[in-house]
Amino acid sequence: MFGFNKTLPKFCDLRGKVAIITGARQGMGKTHALKLASAGAKVVVSDISKEECQLVVDEIKKMRGEAIAVKCDISQKSDVDNLIKETLNAFKKIDILVNNAGIFPFKSFLEMSEQDFMKVININLKGYFLCSQAVAKEMVKTSGGSIVNISSIASIKGFAGLSHYCASKGGVMAMTKALALELAPMGIRINDVDPGAIETPGATGGKDKTGDEKMVASVPLKRWGKPEEISNAVLFLASDESSYMTGSVMVVDGGWVVG
């Protein structure tokens, strides 16, 4: 799907950069890892299963790229600290963080337990805080970097059965804007990508095909988005081509929000 190209144009050239991608064992995270590796970045593939991350690393190495696999539950500070340690041991620095890991279990609000709510918040919001803070402390030492948060159009519009998810993604958007102000003087940019309906195993693997059809019918472009279409936005925001952007929200949803 991807291959490293030594004649990449400037906006695709991440050679010499080190990137961490969380939630990278499958779906959009895997695609982000492959995309950044194809642009020349050294990639840290991180998720809760090191074995599955290693499969992605193997794909990157077939592309003649450099990558390592690191097991990390981003809701646990000790895991995040280890992620930073292993990254620095392997590559000495961190230039790019893609906060991608997340969960979206459907649950009726009236049936939702505190544990249901907090599990989503701990991964989707607290995890982004832990990773961003840990990486930013390292980016300060090298005079900057780029953090890309994968949020969702659920930060903009509501979805029944996903009140915890909407809350977490709304928090990600607000945190992105606040951190953009705080980190700009240190040369660190932070931006937000809001995907819509993207064709990943987690989104399309359910049994409610009628619901899927109704959802796609609500999208003006009348189709699922492809993971690569989100990765293109991630690559742009990770690269120096977006050097005058911070605190921005890039909506990639086929027009769903405005439809």
Q: What is the pTM of this model?
A: 0.93
The number of folded domains in the chain is 1
Residue 2: inside a domain: no
| Residues contacting residue 259 through CB under 8 Å, at least 6 positions apart | 218, 219, 220
The pLDDT assigned to 214 comes to 79
Q: At 59, give phi and psi (nearest 5°).
A: -65, -40
**Burial of 122: CB neighbours in 10 Å, binned 0-12, 13-18, 19+:** middle
DSSP conformation letters of 8-75? --GGG--TT-EEEEES-SSHHHHHHHHHHHHTT-EEEEEES-HHHHHHHHHHHHHTT--EEEEE--TT
Token pair for 111? 């049936």
Residue 5 has pLDDT above 60, yes or no: no
b/e sequence 59-85, b meaning 16+ C-beta within 10 Å: bbeebebbbbbbbbbbbeeebbeebbe
Within its chain, how far is the Cα of 72 from the centroid?
A: 14
Tell me the mean pLDDT in the region 181-209: 85
Q: Which residue has the tokens 């144009």?
A: 9
Active site residue 165: yes
Residue 8: inside a domain: no
Residue 100: inside a domain: yes
Q: What is the CATH number of the domain that holds 214?
A: 3.40.50.720
Tell me the mean pLDDT in the region 182-186: 98
pLDDT digits 0-9 by tens, 143-162: 999 999 999 999 999 999 99
Mean pLDDT, rounded, of the chain:
93
Residue 4: inside a domain: no
Which domain does 118 fall in, by range?
Answer: 15-252
Residue 258: inside a domain: no
Report the percent of the chain where pLDDT is more than 90: 85
Report the percent of the chain where pLDDT is more than 70: 92
Residue 113 has pLDDT above 70, yes or no: yes
Give the residue ranges of DSSP H helices in 63-197: 77-91, 114-121, 127-139, 163-183
The pLDDT assigned to 177 comes to 98
Residue 92 has pLDDT above 70, yes or no: yes
Tell me the mean pLDDT in the region 4-11: 54
Residue 61: inside a domain: yes
Catalytic pick among 91, 165, 224, 256: 165
Tell me the mean pLDDT in the region 52-80: 98
Under the banding of pLDDT at 50, 70 and 90, the label for residue 110 is very high
The pLDDT assigned to 35 comes to 97
Under the banding of pLDDT at 50, 70 and 90, the label for residue 210 is low
The pLDDT assigned to 211 comes to 59
Residue 69: inside a domain: yes
Instruction: Decide if 132 contacts 147 (C-beta within 8 A).
Output: yes
Residue 63: inside a domain: yes
